[in-house]
């Protein structure tokens, strides 16, 4: 896919961008807000869900994994299939799918049906974030693309501060299934906001599925995807089981869970904000810092989670370090595959949701093996370490390529 290049110029601060541009990016972020709400709220409602369906906690983790699998499959498939469409049209189609699929989850009568509807809900996730990131990046100067992409992701982070705690409370009060109706309403709001505020542009000249798929030939793209898969898998190993860990290990009251989820979300907002700024300065440096941070903080959580105060502090910091990884990976993928930006950006979310599935699966495996609810944090340390190793390999290849060019 081709895109019109913008000439580099002085860095534009968010305040210097037109009001129309800022509103359009905010509208795209509303879609990210809805996606974040449906992806993360289920984790805070894991206990009532497994009780109602009569399943085990590891089986409940499979509901999380089903959504993640939908993202992994849907992101590259829908991004490639939609490559000939105008980007706004594609974004609206994906939001419509997302809204209807979440509404259908409300009616899931049993565990098997819920697995299917959660898989369907995940299919448009990555493709939407991919096309929304490219749209946002096209609205700003090239020196602010990292910031613009991070603002789309900010919707996901803000969901963890506002949407997830509120919908978690709603689920605890009115039944866990009501989360899906709430998310469907957010999806309809996003549809309206994007329709009214995002400028329409024709499909990129020369765009084709074959052209998008040619972007997969870049080795650095696969390294970046590997970093996201294992590095962010470390984050999800802990986050997927935060509800039973805090209830059983830390011993907090169930009514406190929405606050705990909100603390995670505030950390994600803070991390995402600074990641967008730093990614415009040093993409790889930001990735290194995120992987090291996840390792150190999750080791601390494994040791200190029995005590509420350090547990909550670490929840905030883990949220920050996890989201710190997403924006630079998004920018890195677009940078290393400039001929297929939508596919590359959407693959970021395939990788992150492979991380979701991997973290939830491995975390559930160590719990099922009898190692306890603190064991997933050690799994997270190991996964983040693998992400750091891949980042070091990617950086070394960059340096070798630069040396050869001279």
Higher pLDDT: 199 or 405? It is: 199
Residue 8 lies in a domain: no
Question: Is 248 strand, coil or helix?
Answer: helix
Provide the 10 A C-beta neighbour count for residue 361: 20
Centroid of chain to Cα 186: 17
Per the structure, the count of domains in the chain is: 1
pLDDT for 74-120, tens place per residue? 988 898 888 788 889 999 999 999 999 999 999 888 899 999 999 99
Centroid of chain to Cα 94: 16
Nearest residue to 33 (alpha-carbon basis) of 158, 213, 215 = 158
Higher pLDDT: 90 or 344? It is: 90
Instruction: Provide the pLDDT confidence category of residue 357 given band limits of 50, 70 and 90.
Output: confident
Residue 331 lies in a domain: yes
**Mean pLDDT score of the chain:** 86
CA 143 – CA 164 distance, rounded (Å): 32
Residue 1 lies in a domain: no
- The values of phi and psi at residue 282, to 5°, are -155, 100
Instruction: Provide the pLDDT confidence category of residue 43 given band limits of 50, 70 and 90.
Output: confident
- pTM, two decimals, is 0.76
Residue 51 lies in a domain: yes
CA 224 – CA 220 distance, rounded (Å): 6
What residues contact 13, with CB distance under 8 A and at least 6 apart?
none
Instruction: Provide the pLDDT confidence category of residue 208 given band limits of 50, 70 and 90.
Output: low
pLDDT for 152-168, tens place per residue? 888 887 887 888 889 98
Higher pLDDT: 207 or 390? It is: 390
* CATH code (residue 40): 1.20.1250.20
Question: What is the model's pLDDT at position 158?
Answer: 86
- Domain of residue 269: give its range: 14-405
Question: What is the model's pLDDT at position 14?
Answer: 54
* 3-class SS letters over 345-387: HHHHHHHHHHHHHHHHHHHHHHHHCCCCCCHHHHHHHHHHHHH
Say if residue 205's pLDDT is above 80.
no
């Amino acid at each position: 896919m081709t895109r019109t290049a913008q000439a580099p110029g002085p860095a534009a601060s968010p305040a210097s961008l037109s009001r129309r541009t800022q509103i359009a990016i905010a509208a795209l972020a509303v879609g990210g807000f809805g996606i974040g709400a449906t992806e993360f709220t289920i984790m805070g409602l894991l206990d009532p869900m497994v009780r109602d369906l009569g399943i085990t906690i590891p089986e409940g983790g499979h509901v999380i994994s089903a959504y993640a699998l939908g993202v992994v499959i849907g992101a590259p498939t829908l991004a490639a299939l939609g490559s000939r469409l105008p980007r706004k049209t594609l974004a609206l189609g994906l939001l419509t799918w997302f809204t209807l699929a979440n509404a259908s989850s409300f009616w899931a009568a049993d565990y098997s049906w819920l697995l299917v509807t959660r898989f369907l809900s995940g299919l448009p996730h990555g493709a939407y974030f991919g096309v929304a990131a490219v749209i946002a990046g096209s609205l700003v100067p090239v020196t602010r693309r990292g910031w613009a992409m991070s603002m789309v992701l900010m919707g996901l982070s803000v969901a963890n501060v506002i949407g997830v705690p509120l919908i978690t409370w709603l689920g605890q009060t009115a039944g866990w299934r009501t989360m899906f109706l709430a998310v469907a309403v957010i999806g309809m709001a996003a549809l309206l906001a994007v329709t009214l505020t995002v400028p329409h542009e024709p499909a990129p000249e020369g765009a084709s599925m074959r052209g998008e798929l040619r972007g997969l030939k870049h080795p650095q793209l696969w390294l970046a995807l590997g970093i996201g898969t294992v590095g962010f898998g470390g984050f999800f190993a802990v986050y997927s089981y935060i509800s039973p860990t805090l209830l059983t290990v830390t011993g907090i009251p169930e009514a406190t869970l929405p606050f705990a989820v909100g603390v995670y979300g505030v950390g994600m907002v803070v991390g995402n904000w600074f990641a967008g700024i730093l990614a415009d300065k040093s993409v790889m440096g930001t990735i290194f810092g995120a992987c090291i941070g996840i390792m150190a903080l999750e080791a601390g959580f494994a040791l200190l989670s029995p005590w509420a105060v350090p547990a909550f502090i670490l929840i905030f910091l883990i949220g920050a370090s996890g989201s710190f990884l997403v924006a630079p990976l998004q920018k890195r993928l677009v940078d290393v595959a400039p001929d297929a930006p939508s596919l590359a950006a959407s693959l970021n979310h395939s990788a992150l949701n492979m991380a979701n599935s991997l973290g939830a699966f491995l975390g559930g495996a160590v719990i099922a093996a009898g190692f306890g609810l603190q064991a997933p944090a050690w799994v997270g340390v190991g996964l983040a370490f693998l992400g750091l190793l891949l980042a070091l390999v990617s950086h070394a290849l960059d340096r070798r390529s630069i040396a050869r060019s001279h």
